[in-house]
Every structure is written in structure tokens, then in C-alpha cells.
Amino acid sequence: MIGFLFFILLLFGFSHLFAQELGIEVSPSSPYDRFTIYETLAFFWAGILGLIVIIKMKLKEIERVQSFGIDKDGRDSPLIE
Amino acid sequence: MNCRKLKSWFEERYDIEPFRRFLKSKFVPEHKYDIWYYTGGIAMFLFVIQFVTGIVLSFYYVPFHEVAHKSIIDIVTKLNMGWFFRSLHHWGAQLSILTLFVHAFSTLILKSYRKPRELVWITGTILLGISIFFGLSGYLMLWDERAFAAVRVATGGVGNLPIIGNFIKFFLRGGIDVTGETLTRFYAFHVSLLPLITLVLVGIHLLLVQYHGISVPLSQENEIRGYKPFFPNVLYKDLMLWLMVFGIVVTVAALSPPEIGKKADPLAPPPENIKPEWYFLFLFQTLKFFPGEIMGLNGEMIAIILISFAILFFVLIPFFDKKSNRGERSTLFTWIGVLYTLYFVIMTIIGFLS
């Protein structure tokens, strides 16, 4: 009897849950796809940080040359190219 | 053709020496607050991201109310990397508006708007307004119930302005209520009118910045540590910051793509506990503080009038701050700047938490 009542309750009480709309998947959700996203992000950040380090090194070198004052052309110096 | 050959090919035909001389003659002052100079460059970089991702999305988006919502679902679920480009466009918009607010408030507090840079400030504030309208018009593209209700509230609020309010409301909506006409109209604003105005204004803004040079805060005029050449020193620093910002936008876009709600139904009641986008929260919260009726007058209308005056004062602040224009310190306007910033931040937080 209790089992039957439980069945009725389940049928009428929660049946709408099976009909409800599922949320729209706004990004790939399978474990493989998620792993690919994380992996790509790791490579992407390695690239970003690498570029920043290269630019920083280049900037330091430019500032070192500028500190000697040898980057400035003399007013009457001939153009050598 | 290698790089040297290409260079000489170009130099034989065009005289780039004046441009090179201009780049070499551009210097940026170094002082305690020079970090704020970079916010403008970051905002411009984010604008570029928005243009690129927006163009990609416009290839597939259908601006017709019957299919707009479905076309976004198709972009997200069926196109290769479509979800990522949509997410990048969404988060790029959030970050560009945030950066513009930071840029505007830092300019306000450091009084970089003072004579002779009044027009730089005015073009900047118009660009901020346009970016917010970009956000609102882009939000409706989603055509879900939240976007629909938000646009109905925002355009309805404008309608409370005396005399011109109803005209603006009707013009924005393309009718008496938000309908498919509004979507078509907002799409036209979002992809043609606003980008065109933005390009022109960014061009004028940059030209004026080049013309006047970079502003130094009054308190730092005697504290300048030196001048750094813009090219290559400052440009390299800009590049590093842009890379960091690009990394952050891409990471947030990949890990937290924005949700898509249910398709808008003009006849359905608005969803409960609806809130606008974060950059409208301070306005939303201000409107909530006003009662429905003040001495027999419409409370919302009074609030909208007061907000409009506050925004107008914000835009025209260089013309009111006479002391700064004379090169004197004006504590009053520093406090006004701090007050504007605090009001925006506190009201946004209250709006977010309530």
C-alpha cells in the first residue's frame, strides 16, 4: 500500500521534472573537451608569459643602451646605412 | 622580398621621415601616478578585440526576433569555437567598460581634463556613454527574457525625462513597447551606427592627446622623475600589459561562458529579482532610493532629472573647475571626483548584493 502511494506521489508530484527544459550548454562539457580547454589554456599562458619575458628583456637592453646615450644621433653626424 | 627590401621599396615611394621624427619626439613623463596612463591603451586594445569578435559573430547572428535566440544557440552549440567567440565578446565588453570607468575616474581625480584638454575629456565621456549603449544594445541581441526586461526598464526610464523623454523612448524602441522592431533597431545601432561614431571619436580623442601631449597632474609638476620615449619604451610596456589583459579575457571566456536564458516572451511577466548589467546597477539602485511620489510629483521622473544633471555636470566639469584651469590646486573638485567615484562603486556594490 505504501509502495503504491509512493508510486502515485512520484507520478504526480515529480513527473514534471522529466519534462522540464534542460539548460543550454554554453560550452563543451565532455571530460575530453574540458581537458583540451585546460591544456590549451596552459600552452596559451606559457606563450603569453614567454612573449612578456622576451619583450621585457628587449626593453631592458634598450634602456641599457639609452643610459649610455649612444642611441641619440649627433646633430652633424653623417648618415651611415 | 625581405624586410630591408620592403622598407626601401616603401621609402622610395613615401616620405615616412616626418612620421619617424614624430614617433621619436613623443615623450611620456614619469611620476608617481604614471601607471594610470596605461588604462587608455588597454581600453583601446579591448575595443579592437570587440571589433574582431563582433565581426565573427555577425557572420552567423540573425537579427530577427523569431530566430535571434535560436541563432545564438546555434552559434554556441553548432559552430566550431562559436561558444568561445561569443564568450570572448561578452567578457571583452565587460572588461572594456570596466577599464573605461577606471580611465574616466582616474582622469577625473588627477584633473587631466583641465585647460587646454577640455575636448579630450568631452570626447572621452561621450565614448564612455557610447560604450554603455553598446553594452545595452548588445544585451538585447540575446533576445532572452532577462535582456528583454532590462531593455524595457532602461528605455522606460529614459521615457521619464521631461519633454524629450517620450521621443527618445519611441525612437529607441521603434514603437510604444519593446518588440521585434527594437531588436532590428538595436542591431543597426550595435553593428553600424555605434562603431562608426566610436571610430570617429577615438580618432579625434587620440589626435587631441597627440596634439596636447600627455597631461601631468598638478601635484606632480615639480616631481617629474624624467621623460621616457614613447617609442619604443612605453609602447613595449603597453604591449606587455595588452598581453596580460588578453590572457585574462581569454581565460575568463574559456572558463566562464555566459548563460543563455529562455527566449523572450513579450506577453510574459518579467522574471523575478531581475537586475540590469553591473554598469547600470548604480542608476538602478539610485532609482530604488526614490519614493514613487515626492510632493505630488512622479518620484522616478525627479530621480531621472537629477541623474541627468549629475551626468551633465560630469561631462562639463572642465568648464566649472576654474582653479585647475588656472593651474592652481582645487580641493573642492578633488572631493567631487572622489565623491563621484565612491558613489559609483558603493551603489554598484549595494545593487549587486541587494
Place of cell 614619469: B30
Over the stretch B104-126, which tens digit does the pLDDT of each residue have? 999 999 999 999 999 999 999 99
Amino acid identity for residue B307 in this structure: I
Label residues B196-235 b or e (16+ Cβ within 10 Å = b). eebeebbebbeebbeeeebbbbbebeeeeeeebbbebbbb
Q: What is the pLDDT of residues B182-232, one digit of tens each?
A: 999 999 999 999 999 999 999 999 999 999 999 999 989 888 998 999 988
- Helix (H, G, I), strand (E, B), or coil: what is residue A58? helix
User: Rounded to a whole number, what is the distance in Å from the CA of A38 to chain B's nearest CA?
Assistant: 9
Backbone angles phi, psi at B228, to 5 degrees: -100, 140
pLDDT bin (cut points 50, 70, 90) of residue B52 is very high
Q: Which of A26, A37, A63 has the CB atom closest to B76's CB atom? A: A26
Q: Are residues B236 and A21, on separate chains, in Cβ contact within 8 Å?
A: no
Q: CA nearest A24 in B: which residue?
A: B260
Q: Please name which of B213, B335, B260 lies closest in space to residue B70, comparing C-alpha atoms.
A: B260
Report CA-CA distances (Å) from A75 to A79, B16, B288: 11, 20, 67
B82 vs B95: CA distance, rounded Å: 20
The continuous run of DSSP H or E covering B226 comes out as strand B226-229
Name the percent of chain B lying above pLDDT 90.
78
Looking at every residue in chain B, the average pLDDT score rounds to: 93
Q: Is the peptide bond before B116 cis (omega within 30 degrees of 0)?
A: yes
Q: Which of B142, B150, B127, B92 is nearest to B201 (CA)?
A: B127
Per-residue pLDDT at A71 exceeds 70: no
Stated as kind and residue range, the H or E segment containing B255 is helix B235-255
C-alpha cell at B166: 517620450
CA dihedral B11, B14, B19, B20 (to 10 degrees): 10
Asked if A21 reaches chain B (Cβ–Cβ under 8 Å), the answer is yes
Which domains are delineated in chain B?
A: 31-275 (1.20.810.10)
d(CA A29, CA B286): 40
From the list A24, A58, A66, the residue facing B236 with the nearest CB is: A58
Nearest to B257 among A21, A23, A26 (CB): A26
A44, B244 Cβ separation under 8 angstroms: no
Segment among A64-73, B270-279, B304-313, B315-324 with least mean pLDDT: A64-73
Whether residue A81 is predicted with pLDDT greater than 60 in this model: the reply is no
Strand partners, B193: none
CA distances B159 to B153, B165, B168, B169, Å, are 10, 4, 7, 5
Highest mean pLDDT among A64-68, B5-9, B12-16, B96-100: B96-100
Q: Which of residues 44-73 of A touch B (CB under 8 A)?
A: 44-45, 48, 51-52, 55-56, 58-59, 62-63, 66
Burial (CB count within 10 angstroms: exposed 0-12, middle 13-18, buried 19+), residue B45: buried
Can you tell me which residue has the cell 621616457?
A: B228
C-alpha cell at B179: 518588440
Closest by CA to B92, choosing from B231, B240, B251, is: B251
pLDDT of A21 > 70? The answer is no
